[in-house]
Amino acid sequence: MRQDFLRLVVDRRHQKQPFATVTDIQSGRQSLVDETVAHGDLSLTAPQLNEVRRRVSANRSGVMDTEVNGGLFVRVYSPPARMVIVGAVHIAQALAPIASLAGFDVVVIDPREAFVRAGRLADIQAIVEWPDDGMKQVAPDARTAVVTLTHDPKLDDPALAAALRSKAFFIGALGSRKTHAQRLERLSGMGFSAADTARIHGPVGLDINAATPAEIAVSIMAQVIESLRAEAE
């Protein structure tokens, strides 16, 4: 890897945005490919660029066969997936450490400082702001899951609205089916279409008959992972 190309790779990694390096196995020529541009001395066709970007979205490195030469090796660099939890409630106390253990960068948003500094949340990154401002700081992207847990429209709705305007790969909201129906009505009144709100998993979590906060956290984590892996298919 040439020094100038290595500097480019290091710079992109510091930006914490997903990208890939593509290397011609025979010639050694390389290009860096992200969501919008490609840099380097390796020319790629439009179908090749599309395939590389698909692999970036799927976080899947490997050899890409070509009709000529020895093929292309795609090395994907992706930052850790993130989970944004809105509401430092009992379920968050279980969900945050589970998500961290699963390799997610976890952020808890709640304006109540005493809640986010308590118990198992004490070591989790926290934004002590109302979700309107907290979600702006988070800026959810395609590697972000957003889960709202408060049942309080003042907290949940602004976070869900911000998530719906983003590329978050997962959006989930705790609450009964009746609560979720009321939530959808409010979001519709904010201008979101049925197709928009269909992105929300509500009630959030796989149906495993979970009863305790810890069990509900497991069901939520399982659904998030299921969605993340589905994105990679």
pLDDT digits (tens, 9 = 90+) for 83-112: 999 999 999 999 999 999 999 999 999 999
Which residue intervals of the chain are DSSP H helices?
Answer: 3-14, 46-58, 90-101, 113-116, 131-138, 153-164, 177-189, 194-197, 213-231
pTM value > 0.85 = no
Residues 40-51: pLDDT tens digits? 888 888 999 999
Structural domain spans, the chain: 3-77, 82-231
Separation CA 156–CA 87 (nearest Å): 8
Say how far apart CA 100 and CA 24 lie, in whole Å: 36
State how far the alpha carbon of 91 is from the alpha carbons of 20, 113, 140, 178, in Å: 36, 17, 21, 20
Overall residue count recorded for the chain in this entry: 233
Q: Report the alpha-carbon distance of residue 37 to residue 131 in Å, rounded.
A: 33
The CATH number of the domain covering residues in 82-231: 3.40.50.720
Mean pLDDT of 52-71: 80
